[in-house]
């Protein structure tokens, strides 16, 4: 499925490439940026703080390790979650693989930290983002907001609809997701031009 999706002349995959290394070379009509918004602007106002994660993978010689795909441990353990992938993939095997998630203050950004001073800093980056024509910031990192998976998928679908359907009858910056929550699109330009994601 993914091979078919990516097999398009307008899609080029560049692995192990940082956007900052080639941002001056990329030409686009519309750009959707899902990385950290502060990184996009070279941290000109300082870094937004994020909580990070460390993962430890294990394989066990047992059919099942736990009774559910994901078990959270919010209090008494150093790790916060154990995920057992067989529940998600439907595999039938005599062994099982799990991953422990440990919270970290340093590392790859995963979760925005909701504090007033961070919201003030993000507001500065949001103002810069809104001034850019045809650049859209999406996802947890691009909008500096925590989203559940269903919310971020709804946000992506709403943005795609906005960019491809050119429907001006509904403000695409707000739309109800399947969970009944309002999903916001951080858009920098209200134009309805045809999409070509870079």
- The per-residue pLDDT for range 95-150, each reduced to its tens digit, is 999 999 999 999 999 999 999 999 999 999 999 999 998 899 999 999 999 998 89
Q: Is residue 60 pLDDT above 80, yes or no?
A: yes
pTM above 0.85, yes or no: no
Q: Is residue 80 pLDDT above 60, yes or no?
A: yes
- Taking domain 2-48+113-187, whether its CATH number is 3.40.50.720 is answered by yes
What gap in Å lies between CA 160 and CA 45, rounded to an integer?
Answer: 30
- Determine the number of helices (DSSP H) and then strands (DSSP E) in the chain: 7, 10
Domain with CATH 3.40.50.720 in the chain: 2-48+113-187
Write down the mean pLDDT value for the chain: 83
Q: Is residue 62 pLDDT above 90, yes or no?
A: yes
Confidence of residue 15 (pLDDT cuts 50, 70, 90): confident
Q: Is residue 50 pLDDT above 60, yes or no?
A: yes
Give me the sign of the Cα torsion angle 52, 107, 184, 1.
negative
Residue 167 has a pLDDT of 46
- In DSSP terms, which residues pair with 175 in a beta bridge? 183
Q: Mean pLDDT: which of 3-7, 24-28, 102-106, 175-179 is highest?
A: 102-106
Q: Higher pLDDT residue, 84 or 12?
A: 84
**Residue 192 CB partners (closer than 8 Å, separation 6+):** 162, 166, 168
Confidence of residue 18 (pLDDT cuts 50, 70, 90): confident
Q: What is the mean pLDDT of residues 30-46?
A: 93
């Amino acid at each position: 499925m993914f091979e078919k999706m990516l097999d398009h002349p307008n899609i080029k995959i560049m692995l192990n490439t940082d956007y900052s290394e080639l941002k001056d070379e990329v030409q686009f009509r519309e750009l959707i940026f899902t990385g950290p918004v502060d990184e996009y602007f070279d941290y000109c106002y300082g870094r937004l703080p994020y909580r990070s994660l460390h993962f430890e993978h294990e394989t066990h010689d047992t059919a099942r390790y736990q009774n559910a795909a994901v078990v959270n441990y919010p209090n008494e353990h150093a790790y916060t979650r154990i995920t057992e992938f067989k529940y998600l993939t439907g595999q039938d095997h005599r062994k099982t693989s799990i991953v422990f998630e440990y919270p970290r203050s340093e590392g790859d950004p995963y979760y925005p930290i909701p504090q007033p001073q961070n919201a003030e800093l993000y507001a500065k980056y949001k103002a810069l983002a809104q001034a850019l024509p045809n650049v859209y910031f999406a996802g947890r990192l691009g909008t500096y907001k925590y989203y559940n998976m269903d919310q971020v998928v709804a946000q992506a679908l709403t943005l795609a609809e906005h960019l491809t359907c050119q429907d001006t009858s509904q403000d695409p910056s707000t739309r109800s997701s399947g969970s009944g929550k309002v999903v916001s699109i951080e858009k920098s330009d209200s134009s309805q031009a045809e999409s070509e994601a870079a």
